[in-house]
Structure 1
Amino acid sequence: MSYSQAHITRRKFDVVIVGAGGSGMRAALELARAGLNVAALSKVFPTRSHTVAAQGGVGAALGNMGEDNWHYHFYDTVKGSDWLGDQDAIEFMCRQAPQVVYELEHFGMPFDRNPDGSIYQRPFGGHTANYGEKPVQRACAAADRTGHAMLHTLYQQNLKARTNFFVEWMALDLIRDADGDVVGVTALEMESGELHILQAKTVLLATGGAGRIFAASTNAFINTGDGLGMAARAGVPLQDMEFWQFHPTGVAGAGVLLTEGCRGEGAILVNSKGERFMERYAPTYKDLAPRDFVSRAMDQEIKEGRGCGPNKDYVLLKLDHLGAETIHKRLPSVYEIGVNFANVDITREPIPVVPTIHYQMGGVPTNIHGQVVTHDGTANQVVNGLYAVGECSCVSVHGANRLGTNSLLDLLVFGKAAGRHIVEFNQRQREHKPLPANAAERTLERLNQLDQSSGGIYSQTLAGDIRAAMQQHAGVFRTQAGMDEGVRKIAALRAQAGAVTLQDKSRVFNTARVEALEVDNLIEVAQATMVSAAARKECRGAHTVHDYEHPDDHPTAPLGRNDAQWLKHSLWHSAGNRLSYKPVNLKPLTVDSIPPKVRTF
């Protein structure tokens, strides 16, 4: 039986949040505490959201382990972003950091403690004191299970605040009215296979990243870019999608993440000669250089024949010198991962690691209040009724490269900020805007195409082809020819997306239908990434292209950053598969701007 308007259930809420990870639940908590009727949709049980996999810590200049202040954090984040981050948003985040961490502590977050009872902080890559002079301990940690502890803490607080959770529901499309305002979402209840319209004064996207567009990823299988796909199909451009972070220490052959906290606690990377090779690439910061630097250094060691193993295709992370007591106290999950995924006891021997896709710096463009914005060529224009927070958003605090610990901070700061701003909006907007007559038309077409399909391509075959193409053409090091070929491959794969076939047409918990719907989101994100990357003719942060030489005046600088032409954000529009650009905001809120300079460590 086909889906039809007659069988759609309709419900009303003040706010519908798509995603129940850290950012979604921090926003939900702010809203529910204010008395708003909040619905939080999640494809998995909230405490299974991908925030649970974050390990190392939350960045905040508390100064518990020595000298630190938010100005240093601000400087490090601007420098880490390779000057593509917006300095007003970065200042806002770094100034808010101590407050949101202390709030989390008061919610019941079980942070590790110093002997005096203050929150324990460990060093992390790119975090320094006195504007780059020395490493600083800024990562507020709960062993190496910080995200796990945070997610459970926020979930408990949301239960107390009576947030409505819709577990194992998948949001499919945004509903926009004739004015272009967002007035709700369509969603599939996985258990029954029924379609619903959730009407809202405000919709907030908090769907996390889309790392599953790559073959080797630290991301959970749920990270298929659903919020980005929804936004792109609704006419919202995706910003800075060429910038994807490869985490240096994914377990070789498995992709499972080993936190940067390992290196924060003193672990070192070594090659087949036993050399601590980061001393060559980042003589000051060594193993605590930012992630893009470390990933490129590892890849270079492997390319030059100093990799380890029978195929010389990985390097080693050495932790045994830390001692078993420290490892079991500070890095218990890493120890378990070593045993379970690499058959290695890290208290006795090193573990094989390779750079693995980890985080998207780009996403749905927003302002510091979490409001989704478009750009008319002159200024940002707010999309009424739509917000985005967390990894699916791009307020651009991370720019071209995120510093470790700033992801958990991002979701706390902007989840709270969006919640507060929505509360103010709901005080003014007392009534729901009416739904358009064709509210579910796009969704019905997608669902019925699958139900009527036959003889086409299997969704996971297409998804596998997308991942293989992205892995080959958008890796740690890129070439112009490779990216151009990637653009052609992804365009050809997109042409096949309309021919995805569904062999099992049943309704009840049909995971094949869910996977087919996820492919619609994967292809949007993959095309946004490849087209944006191929168009950016420079190297910046995580976007490193072999074709562009070192600047003549700085032979030791990163490859070919071109501030004169490329100090700007890319905006990819799904309609027409086209790009536009807008300037980077180099003006902070209250302090002096940090002008671009050579980025060395």
Structure 2
Amino acid sequence: GAILINANGERLMARSAPTLKDLAPRDFISRCMDQEIKEGRGCGPNKDYVLLKLDHLGADTIMKRLPSVFEIGHNFANVDITKEPIPVVPTIHYQMGGIPTNIHGQVVVPNGDVHNQIVNGLYAVGECSCVSVHGANRLGTNSLLDLLVFGRAAGNHIVQFNEKNKEHKPLPKDAANRSLERLARLDDATDGEYAQDVANDLRAAMQMHAGVFRTQKSLDEGIVKIAGLRKRVNNINLKDKSKVFNTARIEALEVENLIEAAEATIVSAAARKESRGAHSVNDYSDSAEFPNGRNDKEWHKHTLWHSEGNRLSYKPVQMKPLTVDSVPLKVRTF
């Protein structure tokens, strides 16, 4: 398959993961790429990327088996991957947290001593949800399995639920108020910032403070930055206030959603004083007591972020599968 090389032409994963090499888990490869760049072995005039090499596979194989990769290389990097490597950098790929659900896709919320109280009629599946089959580090291609398995489970459950519950509960009179208030605020604003300016600063802050390599200091500093950006989100102005196919309005609403996701991510990460899966914090590194920096004694639990008050709570991890034998935890080696 494809191989990663640094500015010296070295196959960097052969050094970092001598057994699996470029087939190592994505979080580990991302950290190795980031480390190569930070240690000065990045490529290009700014030494800020590494290269993904595929030309050794041959043009016929690439065009037959990897046509979409060829198209991406051509369209986004102006590279012919049958002849040249692709410049690549690690960045966010997948949101492993999300709206808590059960195996039927039903949204669940904590309520006193009950950790998973069902919210009847509300479902979530896919990347926006967290039934927690991925743990702290999703394996490659498992997002598609997640969609297929729990999408089907949710659809089946909705049919069964509706057969038993023929009538809807009446909606509260103020059900649409929050959404209408968001739109009205944008319509009423007469000055402020462009949504994409705020979005770009948000992306940069999360990349710097909650990227593939984290430190407790960077996470704590990131919380302050995100709090400042939240104030700017409330000051976004639309120059175009038209009601039909207004992409600027959609972008402004998306930034409001992004700031909430960013706050949930970085506040939860900063509170977790360990390394676990893709959450790799340099302060909490490998030791005899904590393999790979993971502290099961104190942190073998789910983090729940609450937008009201920007607060956290926790619930236990379900370690007993419903239909198969439990797989004992092991230390990852490559």
TM-score relative to the length of structure 2:
0.94
- Distance 1:444-1:343 versus aligned 2 partners, 3 A rule: closer
Q: What is the CA deviation profile of residues 16-41 of structure 1, one whole-angstrom value per residue up to 9, with x for unaligned ones?
A: xxxxxxxxxxxxxxxxxxxxxxxxxx
Q: How many residues matched?
A: 333
Structure 2 distance, partners of 1:459, 1:341, is: 24
Structure 2 residue aligned with 1:425, among 143, 146, 161? 161
Structure 2 residue aligned with 1:357, among 86, 92, 95? 92
Letter in 1 for 2:327: I
Letter in 1 for 2:204: A
Task: Report SS of the residue matched to 1:293.
Answer: helix
Structure 2 distance, partners of 1:344, 1:312, is: 18
Q: In the TM superposition, what are the counterparts of 1:68-467 in structure 2 within 5 Å? A: 266-376=1-111, 377-467=113-203
Letter in 2 for 1:406: N
Identity between Structure 1 and Structure 2 (%)? 74
- Asked if residue 566 in structure 1 is aligned to residue 333 in structure 2, the reply is no
Deviation at 1:430?
0.6
Task: Report SS of the residue matched to 1:357.
Answer: coil
Kept in 2, the 8 Å contact 1:368–1:395? The answer is: yes
Q: What is the CA deviation profile of residues 124-162 of structure 1, one whole-angstrom value per residue up to 9, with x for unaligned ones?
A: xxxxxxxxxxxxxxxxxxxxxxxxxxxxxxxxxxxxxxx
Please name the residue that 1:507 is paired with. 243
Q: What is the CA deviation profile of residues 336-357 of structure 1, one whole-angstrom value per residue up to 9, with x for unaligned ones?
A: 2222322322222322221122
Kept in 1, the 8 Å contact 2:91–2:211? The answer is: no
- Asked if residue 487 in structure 1 is aligned to residue 220 in structure 2, the reply is no
Kept in 2, the 8 Å contact 1:320–1:349? The answer is: yes
Please name the residue that 1:575 is paired with. 308
- Asked if residue 586 in structure 1 is aligned to residue 319 in structure 2, the reply is yes
Task: Report SS of the residue matched to 2:52.
Answer: strand
Letter in 1 for 2:110: H
Q: What is the CA deviation profile of residues 506-564 of structure 1, one whole-angstrom value per residue up to 9, with x for unaligned ones?
A: 2222222222222221111111111111111111111111112321367xx53x11111
Structure 2, unaligned runs of 5 or more:
none
Please name the residue that 1:14 is paired with. none
Task: Report SS of the residue matched to 1:359.
Answer: coil
Deviation at 1:407?
0.9
Deviation at 1:375?
2.1
Structure 2 distance, partners of 1:460, 1:302, is: 27
Please name the residue that 2:282 is paired with. 546
Task: Report SS of the residue matched to 2:92.
Answer: strand
- Asked if residue 598 in structure 1 is aligned to residue 331 in structure 2, the reply is yes
Structure 2 distance, partners of 1:591, 1:509, is: 49
Task: Report SS of the residue matched to 1:595.
Answer: coil
Letter in 1 for 2:39: E
- What stretches of structure 1 move > 6 A for 4+ residues in a row? none
Letter in 1 for 2:220: D
Deviation at 1:333?
1.5
Task: Report SS of the residue matched to 2:73.
Answer: helix
Deviation at 1:331?
0.3
Over aligned residue pairs, what C-alpha RMSD do you find?
1.7
Structure 2 distance, partners of 1:299, 1:320, is: 23
Letter in 2 for 1:527: E
Please name the residue that 2:208 is paired with. 472
Please name the residue that 1:520 is paired with. 256
Kept in 1, the 8 Å contact 2:275–2:285? The answer is: no
Q: Looking at both structures, which has the greater relative contact order when contacts are Cα pairs under 8 Å and sequence separation is at least 6? A: 1
- Distance 1:449-1:344 versus aligned 2 partners, 3 A rule: closer
Structure 2 distance, partners of 1:387, 1:293, is: 33
Deviation at 1:360?
0.6
Structure 2 distance, partners of 1:367, 1:308, is: 45
Kept in 2, the 8 Å contact 1:298–1:354? The answer is: yes
Deviation at 1:600?
1.3
Task: Report SS of the residue matched to 1:581.
Answer: strand
Structure 1, unaligned runs of 5 or more:
1-265
Kept in 1, the 8 Å contact 2:212–2:280? The answer is: yes
Letter in 2 for 1:385: G
- Distance 1:455-1:564 versus aligned 2 partners, 3 A rule: same
Structure 2 distance, partners of 1:343, 1:462, is: 28
Q: What is the CA deviation profile of residues 266-309 of structure 1, one whole-angstrom value per residue up to 9, with x for unaligned ones?
A: 22112223222212222221111110011111112222222222
Higher helix share: 2
Q: What is the CA deviation profile of residues 349-386 of structure 1, one whole-angstrom value per residue up to 9, with x for unaligned ones?
A: 32222112211111111011000001234431001110
- Distance 1:514-1:336 versus aligned 2 partners, 3 A rule: closer
Task: Report SS of the residue matched to 1:379.
Answer: strand
Kept in 1, the 8 Å contact 2:193–2:232? The answer is: yes
Q: What is the CA deviation profile of residues 424-465 of structure 1, one whole-angstrom value per residue up to 9, with x for unaligned ones?
A: 000011112212121222222222222221223332222222
Letter in 2 for 1:443: S
Structure 2 distance, partners of 1:525, 1:576, is: 15
Structure 2 distance, partners of 1:496, 1:305, is: 35
Structure 1 distance, partners of 2:178, 2:84, is: 55
Q: What is the CA deviation profile of residues 313-351 of structure 1, one whole-angstrom value per residue up to 9, with x for unaligned ones?
A: 222212122111111110011112222322322222322
Structure 1 distance, partners of 2:78, 2:176, is: 50
Task: Report SS of the residue matched to 1:501.
Answer: coil
Higher strand share: 1
Please name the residue that 1:258 is paired with. none
Structure 2 distance, partners of 1:401, 1:581, is: 19
Please name the residue that 1:214 is paired with. none
Bigger mean CA deviation after superposition, 358-367 or 494-503 = 494-503
